[in-house]
Amino acid sequence: MKTSHSYPFFGSDGYDGLDAILQDLSPSKTFLLVDSNTLDCLSHFVPKLAQLDADFEILEVPSGEESKSLEVAANLWSVLLEYGADRNSIIINVGGGVIGDLGAFIAATFKRGIPFVNVPTSLLAMVDASVGGKNGINFEGLKNQLGTFTEPNFVLIDLDFLASLPSQEWASGHAEMLKHALLSGRYWSELLALKPTNLTLQHLQQSVAFKAEIVREDFQEKGKRKILNLGHTTGHAWESYLAECGTPCTHGAAVIQGLHVALLLSGLGDLQRALAQRYPWQKIEEKALAPLWERQLQDKKNTNGEVRYVLLEELGRPIWDVKISMERWTQAVLALNSAL
């Protein structure tokens, strides 16, 4: 990763580090971006920062994936202009993956880029969205179609935010941890059995460290970083499809679906069955197959109009840019359906 400060800092070290960043940058204006759920987190977060500008402004957006839109982005840019934000201003994103993606995109594009900090409050954001420099918004019903690769100036991870995390949000973050375990070949059985009550700082550090290692090697996703999309080709399509149907699911639930498909396409039925013991496959109706395939054709990782997958040769040995035909993908989905 490009900057020395962007690698996540945990707990009290994180607050001390963020204070040092704020003192060093001495921002002209400070904006805290939250959603309607994470606004309450500020009472825990703000008092721990001695260097935070007392006149900070709060930018609040509705919770949920719908906020990752061009309309919301345009409104935030307008508010920044209204409050006199300049290139020495800073945005601190306090929230889950949506806030991290949206806030980083706003900061990366406003006046060609202003400093920003990620303070993830969900497990998913801690182990995935806050790290790696990707940001973006959805467009035309498709996930993350507009965005940049821009690193945060700092990432602060505070486990205390997870104390009130809903069970579905826990599962969403757990899905990304399992993805990291499949890719690295480390801690798979341990993480598959992990429950919220057993989560430790070490678990988080292991997962974050793996992603950070891959990002360092390939920041702009020209090669090896593509492996981090394991499960996301079907996953993003499933997430977008359900949202359009009015029955949205969490990002993690969609990734789990994608992991089932990827493992079966990889010929790793034992790993797929083990995953199903913890997170069962959700049946996909045949009427959904064509629209799901069409969404996969729009995936950013494709080449020459061909759907490209991340698969595993075995646990811990990922391969990427694997061409998958609609026939082969459909057979995998129907096989998973028939196993129910």
Domain-wise residue ranges, the chain: 9-165, 168-338
Task: Give the whole-angstrom CA distance, residue 305 versus residue 148.
Answer: 22
Which segment of 254-268, 292-306, 323-337 scores lowest on mean pLDDT?
Answer: 292-306
pLDDT (tens digit, 9 = 90+) per residue, 30-52?
999 999 999 999 999 999 999 99
Per-residue pLDDT band for 6 (boundaries 50, 70, 90) equals: low
Per-residue tokens: 34: 């939250």
Q: Do domains 9-165 and 168-338 have the same CATH topology?
A: no
pLDDT of residue 30: 98
pLDDT of residue 311: 98
Q: Which residues, at least 6 apart from 271, have a Cβ–Cβ distance to it below 8 Å?
A: 182, 188, 263, 312, 315
Query: Is pLDDT of 176 > 90?
Result: yes
End-to-end distance of the chain based on CA atoms, in angstroms?
43
Model pTM score = 0.89
The upper half-sphere exposure of residue 250, i.e. CA atoms within 13 Å in the direction of its Cβ, equals 20
Task: Give the whole-angstrom CA distance, residue 109 versus residue 13.
Answer: 29
Per-residue pLDDT band for 2 (boundaries 50, 70, 90) equals: very low
* CATH architecture group of domain 168-338: Up-down Bundle (1.20)
Q: Tokens 């199903």 appear where? A: 276
pLDDT of residue 273: 98
Per-residue tokens: 339: 């196993």
10 close to 34: Cβ distance less than 8 angstroms: no
Hey, which CATH number is domain 9-165, 3.40.50.850, 3.40.50.1970, 3.90.1010.20, 3.40.50.1100? 3.40.50.1970
Mean pLDDT of the chain: 93
Per-residue tokens: 248: 């949205």
109 close to 101: Cβ distance less than 8 angstroms: no
Per-residue tokens: 328: 């082969």
pLDDT (tens digit, 9 = 90+) per residue, 221-273?
999 999 999 999 999 999 999 999 999 999 999 999 999 999 999 999 999 99
Which segment of 12-26, 89-103, 157-171, 283-297 scores lowest on mean pLDDT?
Answer: 157-171
